[in-house]
Amino acid sequence: MLLQQQRECVIKTALRARDMGLIVLTFGNFSLRDPKTGYVCLTPSGMDYADLCPEDVVVMDVEGNIIDGRRKPSVEAPMHYLIYQKRPDVCGICHTHSVFATAWACIDAKLPVAVAEVAALVGETVPTAPYRPMGTMELAEVAAETLRDKQAVLLANHGQLAVGPDLATALTNAVIVEEGAKITYYAKSLGRLNIIPTEECLSIRQWALKRYGQK
């Protein structure tokens, strides 16, 4: 089977996201890009993640052409392959509808950085892409344009999208955005929100890149 291990990784990541409460039912979509072939392994449309087998994960190229797989790919396939086109550093994408991040995406405000972990692992303020109908090339375009070189973006009235050099990192970034959105919501409800200045966010991000984890 073409890219069997990579397809299995996509399923495992989707199940982890579900277990952590980032998605419910068949919401969200997950993909990775294989560095050797350049092909993208993407979850299928409307199927329960618990029932997936590797053959159900669709293999595509970054132009959106199906290379292998009998299933219809996620309706958000354009958003995935367009980001891969524009971001050669990205090899993993997680699109989730996690509650607190989506709530922030439903108001006319950016998600500010009030938590050091968000600054360390995601960076600056998480921007919000303008609303476009889901599953459209218009949504794909505004998501990629708003994401630019960042690690995550909110999708207005829809959810969040996180990227990384691999799928595990993309999932980590999705979790951090959700936790940051949750803590920021509660902090804002308690009183005046202390936002970490942009320069400090960038400094923390650089520190994390150099010092955090097992290098």
**Which residues are tagged catalytic?**
76
Tell me which long-range contacts 191-199 makes (C-beta under 8 A, separation of at least 24): 193/112, 193/114, 194/114, 195/112, 195/113, 195/114, 196/113, 196/114, 196/115, 196/116, 196/119, 198/124, 198/125
Enter the tokens of residue 163. Answer: 């990227």
Element housing 187 (H / E): helix 167-190
Select from 120, 179, 187, 114 the least CA-distant residue to 151.
Answer: 120
Classify the C-alpha dihedral 212-28-107-104 as positive or negative. negative
* Separation of alpha carbons 143 and 66, rounded Å: 22
Strand partners, 59: 41, 68
- Dist. CA 17–CA 21, nearest whole Å: 6
